[in-house]
């Protein structure tokens, strides 16, 4: 969002014809920024969704491949159950918080300008991502985990050399460690805020010249 705002401001500043209606903005640049940011934020959860089933299936099947398949089935069942409950929770709570602000704006509890309305604005800010992004995003996450589990199940139950199984486990652990590191580095918004906080302040009067 920060990069997109800066791009919009840049286009308005460098291309005054946009406001006058004589020039069209560069939509492609804005779409490219949003797409790149979404792909970067998706990398960590995507790696987790792909390699966690692989780690469970191969890691729990060292002594007996069937145990690895059973562990994989239990993992997928738990992911479906908890993911479904979490998705319903996020969708319902987000919708309730979003509608709370609208209810207050219609005159409930004093309407706009009250402390209740200020709290409702915060509820709307939190509720919109809950019901529009976080809740629905769990659906493809569950699907990817189950798809990976189904694809690797025929290989998990096969007797494989311990060295090959260990190599798969180590590679999965490395991928998961990378995903955790990528998630801990913070979002793009956090990086922008950190860069702004560490930037050297401009001396007084220097920016007026």
Residue pLDDT, tens place only, 69-113: 999 999 999 999 999 999 999 999 888 888 888 888 887 777 787
Closest by alpha carbon to 94, among 73, 123, 116?
123
Q: Which of 122, 67, 71, 65 is nearest to 98 (CA)?
A: 122
Determine the pLDDT at residue 1: 63
Maximum mean pLDDT: which of 57-66, 109-118, 180-189: 57-66
Phi-psi region of 34 (alpha: psi -120 to 50; beta: other; left: phi over 0): alpha
pTM over 0.85: no
Output phi, psi for 146, to 5 deg: -70, -35
Asked if pLDDT for residue 159 goes beyond 80, the answer is yes
Q: How far is residue 14's CA from residue 101's CA, in Å, rounded to a whole number?
A: 38
């Amino acid at each position: 969002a920060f990069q997109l705002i800066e791009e919009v401001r840049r286009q308005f500043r460098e291309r005054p014809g946009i406001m006058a209606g004589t020039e069209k903005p560069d939509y492609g640049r804005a779409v490219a920024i949003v797409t790149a940011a979404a792909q970067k934020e998706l990398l960590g959860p995507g790696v987790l969704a792909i390699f966690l089933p692989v780690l469970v299936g191969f890691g729990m099947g060292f002594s007996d491949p069937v145990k690895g398949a059973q562990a994989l089935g239990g993992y997928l069942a738990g992911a479906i159950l908890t993911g479904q409950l979490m998705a319903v929770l996020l969708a319902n709570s987000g919708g309730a918080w979003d509608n709370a602000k609208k209810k207050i704006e219609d005159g409930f509890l004093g309407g706009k300008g009250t402390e209740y309305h200020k709290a409702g604005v915060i509820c709307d800010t939190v509720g919109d991502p809950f019901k529009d992004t976080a809740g629905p995003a769990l659906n493809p996450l569950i699907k990817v985990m189950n798809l990976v589990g189904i694809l690797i199940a025929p290989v998990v139950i096969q007797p494989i050399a311990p060295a090959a199984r260990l190599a798969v486990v180590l590679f999965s652990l490395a991928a998961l460690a990378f995903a955790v590191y990528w998630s801990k580095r913070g979002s793009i918004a956090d990086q922008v805020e950190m860069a702004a906080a560490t930037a050297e302040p401009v001396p007084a009067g220097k920016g007026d010249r």
